[in-house]
Structure 1
Amino acid sequence: MNNAKLWLVVKPTVGIPLFLSAVAISSFLVHVGIVANTTWMADYHNGSASAE
């Protein structure tokens, strides 16, 4: 990869935790969006999901 010059601008002690935090936050937001916008998720968590 040709991204070695990135670490001349951003220190790895700042860049790596920032990148991992961004991945974790975006993953959390995707999961919240799925849970908030589905009609069957609440039934599934309550144990009353219908088997098809």
Structure 2
Amino acid sequence: MIYGKMWTVVKPTVGIPLIIGAVAVGSFSVHYAILSHTTWVSAFLEGGAKTAAASMPAAPAAPMKK
């Protein structure tokens, strides 16, 4: 382990939950920042692209040659 000596200062029963909690808080804060500061992410998650594709008119079919 790279940081093996860290566990002589901090007990693993305290350090591991602390590290996991810090990663979780960091992840939630990044995701919250992305969702609250962009418009395209929420539109994508709500399926905004489906409504734009459905409103496009269909192209007319070309006549078949005999």
Q: Same fold (TM over 0.5)?
A: yes
Partner in structure 1 of residue 5 of structure 2: 5
User: Structure 2: where are the runs of 5+ without partners?
Assistant: 54-66
How is 1:33-44 mapped onto 2 (pairs within 5 angstroms)?
33-44=33-44
Aligned residues: 50
Which structure carries more relative contact order (alpha carbon 8 Å, separation 6+)? 1
User: Structure 1: where are the runs of 5+ without partners?
Assistant: none
The runs of at least 4 aligned residues of structure 1 exceeding 6 Å deviation read none
- Give the TM-score taking structure 2 as reference length: 0.64
Cα RMSD after superposing both structures? 1.6
- Give the TM-score taking structure 1 as reference length: 0.78
Deviation at 1:26, TM superposition (A): 0.2
1:26 aligns with 2:45: no
